[in-house]
Amino acid sequence: MSTVMDTDTDTAVDGAAGGSVAITGREKRLLRHAMMPHMLCPGCGHGIVLDAMLSVLSERYENLDNVAFVAGIGCSSRIIGYIDACTLHTAHGRPLSFATGLKLARPDLTVVVITGDGDGLSIGGNHLIHAARRNVDLTCVLLNNEIYGMTGGQAAPTTVLGAYTSTTPLGNTQHPFDAAELAKAAGATFVARSQSYRPQVFGELFSQALDHVGFSFLEVMSDCTEYFGRINRFGEGADMLMGQARYEPSIDADLARIPTVEPVTIKQPVRPVLPIGVLHRSSRLTLEETLGIEGGRSSGVAGGKVDDAVQRMNG
Amino acid sequence: MRLIQGNEACAEGAIAAGCRFFAGYPISPSSEIAEAMARMLPRHGGVFLQAEDELASLGAVLGAALGGTKAMTATSGPGFSLMQEHIGYGYLAEIPCVVVDVMRGGPSTGLPTQPSQGDVMQAQWGSHGDRAAVVLAPVGVQEVYDLTIQAFGLSETLRMPVTLLYDEVVGHMREGVDLAIPDPMTLGGRPRSSQPAGPSFRPYKANATGVAELPDFGRGYRFHVTGLMHDERGFPTTDTSVVAALLERLENKAQAAKDLVMPEAYLMDDATLVLVAYGITGRTAKAAVDTLRSRGIRAGLWRPRLLWPAQDEMLRGALQNAEMVVVAEMNRGQWAREVERVAAGSVILRPLLKAGGATITTEEMVGHALDMLEAPDIASPDRVSGRTTELYANISSGSAVALESKVVE
């Protein structure tokens, strides 16, 4: 009925609980063991994403010496600390700024940004659209759990209308962002969405995002059980995972059988049904190419350095 | 020797120091630095990035610096306010970079193209939390060039953001400048770790000078950098003793700047009336000293090139024979507080403050000094700002200092 057990790892769905991530040997060598135990809550979807990410990375890299993970502030951003790479935990909302500077200075590095919906769309929203516009050769993974988890469950720019949070006790009144559409409109050349419910799909999309030359944006719907789930009575971690796949008949049938989850027909905030998969793909010169920086990857697009005029100006 | 503007001299100094990355956002009166860097960096194999705002500018600079590049940004007051969070980040994470603040009148949008020295306190205290700062204040175009180079040297050696602070007049005036190739010794260098890579690697283990020896990203070491309080491994910690030791180490390492940036002492040997001024104000103060000397007054100038950390011992030494001190600055009284802290009770101190968007003239300084000599124990209204210097009234009226002669021969 679902793809959750078909993943290429044997990670348990609630493997993030209590610091005992069930993880196979292949990914294990990319984990930063000294940072354990981790700080994710029981049932949090972020651990699944981390595991799926490590799985992809372990297939691509022997070690992560030349891979930098740059993150902001929030639960999602903290997962980079568990990856044995060059990891840069920046200020709130700013990972794309740091990552842009790092990538331009070191085009030889693979730079992956991990951000959240508050970090990447609220306080860091301006940096997101400009990174997309510039088409810097980065991969940005935005974990969207629709709430500020780390600070205690306040409304985020992705919280759906009507949802209860600690700052929307009467229900959320602000319309949410569609992160993927935003990134696409801003000029991202690869845009995709996945779910923590489907780690295999996430893995495939993450892999494609890494392959893509230019700014690749991958939103992944994740769950905050401690705040978003609890306050809105969405059930526990597994229930919320299932909830990500609402409107799939087989899932709806399962949901109806789970007593802790109300059927979606009752009056409660309903998370929008968002398409998953690759939503947009195009080809454009990267910022590195237009700047004439050597050592990065080629987009294969004709053209290139545009600073000839600058050279002329300098005589 | 080339006739160039202060802001151009800053860009020239940066290139000479090896800066190969600049990210910035347009703002008067600093924009010429960005414009010059945009012209010059491609020729030198560097990268210029016009960022979407000042937060992005300094963020990109810190990212580039972690990749191993010498990097700089330049701004003015409003942008400097926005950058404070990242200056704190660079300080805690020990990432070298240079931040230039070409001061204009504030607060808020203020006086976009009028000079000011209003960001002096912000340069030290602008970030939240306890942070030491290294802040250089050039007096003219040549010194902008020289101190930009030195700012890079200090930032690399101490692994921290260093601020170059000057006002609109210094930024826009043109002077002949000797663009000398810097001595490699002044350029310093990032301390490099000799530890092997691996799980036992400690990126934040300090060397003998208290500086962490982080490698650049992507050079065979895998490690964590964070703006959270961290241990030697770079891992977040809330251990109070580790946090306290970290803050102490960072503050201590910055003190080294005190012995590396020398103040200018002009006719100080026998001076009993001392003008303390920095930046463009130091320039007119020098002329005021000459005028006062021509009237037989033993005047001198002490001009710090390093505003932070304040060189308390040097200042105390300089004021040893002083009876009266004038601190002249283009603000409502900022660095004057530092002079008061060092010299309170031992001299008569009366600041000359001017915060309206114009420089303090030589005539104003001479007049102020003469007023003070005539009536040293009266807290007279400031002749420029019209403000009574109440802050210092206690010093002149309450102290036990006896002035035997008002006019020194």
Peptide bond between residue B29 and the one before it cis (omega within 30 degrees of 0): yes
pLDDT band at residue A27 under the 50/70/90 scheme: confident
For chain A, give the mean pLDDT. 86
pLDDT band at residue A269 under the 50/70/90 scheme: low
Cα three-residue angle B201-B203-B208, rounded to 5 degrees? 110
| Distance separating alpha carbons of residues A242 and A235, to the nearest angstrom | 10
B405 sits in the region (left: phi over 0; alpha: psi -120 to 50; else beta) called beta
Residue A175: is its pLDDT beyond 80? yes
A291 — contact with chain B (CB < 8 Å)? yes
| Shortest Cα–Cα distance, B318 to chain A (Å) | 42
What digits encode the pLDDT tens for the residues A48-62?
Answer: 999 999 999 999 999
- Across the interface, whether the CB atoms of B49 and A81 are under 8 A apart is answered no
Q: Is residue B298 part of a domain?
A: yes
Which range has the worst mean pLDDT, A161-165, A282-286, B2-6? Answer: A161-165
Domain identity same for B269 and B359: yes
Backbone angles phi, psi at B137, to 5 degrees: -130, 95
Using CB atoms, pick whichever of A65, A104, A314 lies closest to residue B39: A314
Domain identity same for B33 and B124: yes
- Across the interface, whether the CB atoms of A90 and B89 are under 8 A apart is answered yes
Q: Is residue B197 part of a domain?
A: no
Q: Closest residue of B to A305, CA-based?
A: B42
Q: Closest residue of A to B35, CA-based?
A: A310
Q: Is residue B258 part of a domain?
A: no
Judge contact between B37 and B14, C-beta under 8 A: yes
- Across the interface, whether the CB atoms of B64 and A102 are under 8 A apart is answered yes
| Distance separating alpha carbons of residues B383 and A177, to the nearest angstrom | 57
Q: Closest residue of B to A106, CA-based?
A: B67
Q: Could you tell me where the DSSP H helices lie in B344-383?
A: 362-374
Q: Is residue B299 part of a domain?
A: yes
- Across the interface, whether the CB atoms of A106 and B218 are under 8 A apart is answered yes
CATH of the domain at B87: 3.40.50.970
| Distance separating alpha carbons of residues B30 and B135, to the nearest angstrom | 17
Structure tokens, B82: 């926005």
Mutate to test the interface with B, among A57, A79, A90, A290 (most CBs of B within 10 A): A90
Chain A residue numbers touching B49 (CB-CB < 8 A): 100-101, 104
Residue B326 DSSP code: E
Total domains in chain B come to: 2
Using CB atoms, pick whichever of B59, B86, B217 lies closest to residue A109: B217
Domain stops at, among B187, B222, B246: B187
Domain identity same for B174 and B274: no
Rounded to whole angstroms, the maximal C-alpha distance in chain A is: 75
Residue B21 DSSP code: E
Residue A15: is its pLDDT beyond 80? no
pTM of the complete model = 0.91
| Distance separating alpha carbons of residues B75 and B123, to the nearest angstrom | 12
- Across the interface, whether the CB atoms of B60 and A101 are under 8 A apart is answered yes
Domain stops at, among B155, B187, B219: B187
Q: What is the pLDDT along chain B (409 residues), one digit of tens a residue?
A: 999 999 999 999 999 999 999 999 999 999 999 999 999 999 999 999 999 999 999 999 999 999 999 999 999 999 999 999 999 999 999 999 999 999 999 999 999 999 999 999 999 999 999 999 999 999 999 999 999 999 999 999 999 999 999 999 999 999 999 999 998 888 888 999 889 998 899 999 999 999 999 999 999 999 999 999 999 999 999 999 999 999 999 999 999 999 999 999 999 999 999 999 999 999 999 999 999 999 999 999 999 999 999 999 999 999 999 999 999 999 999 999 999 999 988 899 999 999 999 999 999 999 999 999 998 765 544 444 444 443 333 333 333 333 322 222 2
Check residues A265 and B264 and name the one with the higher pLDDT.
B264
| Shortest Cα–Cα distance, A82 to chain B (Å) | 10
Residues in chain A: 315
Domain A4-284 bears CATH identifier 3.40.50.970: yes
pLDDT of the residue at B400: 30
- Across the interface, whether the CB atoms of B42 and A307 are under 8 A apart is answered yes
Judge contact between B166 and B282, C-beta under 8 A: no
B87 — contact with chain A (CB < 8 Å)? no
Judge contact between B240 and B260, C-beta under 8 A: no
Residue A38: is its pLDDT beyond 50? yes
Residue A266: is its pLDDT beyond 70? no
DSSP-assigned beta bridge partners for residue B166: B102
Q: Which of A128, A217, A49 is nearest to B59 (CA)?
A: A128
Measured on CA atoms in the order B197, B203, B205, B211, is the torsion positive or negative? positive
Percent of chain A with pLDDT over 90: 70
pLDDT of the residue at A255: 66
Residue A242: is its pLDDT beyond 50? yes
Q: Is residue B221 part of a domain?
A: no
- Across the interface, whether the CB atoms of B63 and A314 are under 8 A apart is answered no
Mutate to test the interface with B, among A63, A96, A102, A114 (most CBs of B within 10 A): A102
A 35-74: CB under 8 A from B: 35, 63-66, 68, 70
- Across the interface, whether the CB atoms of B71 and A101 are under 8 A apart is answered yes
- Across the interface, whether the CB atoms of B65 and A101 are under 8 A apart is answered yes
User: HSE on the CB side for B173, CA within 13 Å?
Assistant: 21
Q: Closest residue of B to A309, CA-based?
A: B39
Peptide bond between residue B196 and the one before it cis (omega within 30 degrees of 0): no
- Across the interface, whether the CB atoms of A81 and B59 are under 8 A apart is answered no
A 112-151: CB under 8 A from B: 126-127, 130
A102 — contact with chain B (CB < 8 Å)? yes
Judge contact between B30 and B119, C-beta under 8 A: no
Structure tokens, B179: 């663009």
For β-strands B299-303 and A190-195, DSSP reports them as unpaired
In terms of residue numbers, what domain contains B340?
264-398
- Across the interface, whether the CB atoms of B218 and A94 are under 8 A apart is answered no
Backbone angles phi, psi at A135, to 5 degrees: 55, 45
CATH of the domain at B324: 3.40.50.920
A93 sits in the region (left: phi over 0; alpha: psi -120 to 50; else beta) called left
B40 — contact with chain A (CB < 8 Å)? yes
Backbone angles phi, psi at A275, to 5 degrees: -65, 145
| Shortest Cα–Cα distance, B315 to chain A (Å) | 37
A270 — contact with chain B (CB < 8 Å)? no
Chain B residue numbers touching A105 (CB-CB < 8 A): 20-21, 47, 63-65, 67-69, 71
A103 — contact with chain B (CB < 8 Å)? yes
Using CB atoms, pick whichever of B56, B64, B233 lies closest to residue A105: B64
- Across the interface, whether the CB atoms of A127 and B59 are under 8 A apart is answered yes
| Distance separating alpha carbons of residues B121 and B329, to the nearest angstrom | 12
- Across the interface, whether the CB atoms of B56 and A70 are under 8 A apart is answered no
Peptide bond between residue A157 and the one before it cis (omega within 30 degrees of 0): no
Q: Which of B146, B128, B240 is nearest to B187 (CA)?
A: B146
Q: Closest residue of B to A129, CA-based?
A: B52
- Across the interface, whether the CB atoms of A35 and B224 are under 8 A apart is answered yes
- Across the interface, whether the CB atoms of A104 and B47 are under 8 A apart is answered yes
| Distance separating alpha carbons of residues B83 and A49, to the nearest angstrom | 33
Q: Is residue B279 part of a domain?
A: yes
Calculate mean pLDDT across residues A75-88. Answer: 97
Q: Is residue B246 part of a domain?
A: no
A277 sits in the region (left: phi over 0; alpha: psi -120 to 50; else beta) called left
Instruction: Give the C-alpha distances (Å, rounded to integers) separating A127 from A132, B51, B53, B60.
Output: 8, 9, 9, 11
Position A27, amino acid = E
In sequence order, what DSSP letters do the residues of chain A get, joined into one string? --SGGGSSS---TTTTGGG-----HHHHTTB-GGGPSP-PPTT-THHHHHHHHHHHHHHH-S-EEEEEEEE-SSHHHHGGGGBSEEEEE-STT-HHHHHHHHHHH-TTSEEEEEEEHIIIIIITHHHHHHHHHHT-S-EEEEEE-SEETTTTSEE-TTPPTT--BTTBTT---SPPP-HHHHHHHHT-SEEEEEETT-HHHHHHHHHHHHHSSS-EEEEEE---IIIIIHHTT--SHHHHHHHTTTTSHHHHHHHHH-TTS--TTSSS--------EEEEE-----HHHHHT--SS-----S----THHHHHHT-
What digits encode the pLDDT tens for the residues A119-152?
Answer: 999 999 999 999 999 999 999 999 999 999 999 9
pLDDT of the residue at A268: 58
- Across the interface, whether the CB atoms of A86 and B64 are under 8 A apart is answered no
Structure tokens, B78: 């409003």
pLDDT of the residue at A246: 74
Q: What is the complex's ipTM, to 2 decimals?
A: 0.92
Judge contact between A241 and A197, C-beta under 8 A: yes
Chain A residue numbers touching B199 (CB-CB < 8 A): 33-34
| Shortest Cα–Cα distance, A69 to chain B (Å) | 10
pLDDT of the residue at A273: 73
Domain stops at, among B132, B153, B187: B187
Using CB atoms, pick whichever of B55, B60, B71 lies closest to residue A100: B60
Q: Which of B233, B69, B260 is nearest to B146 (CA)?
A: B260
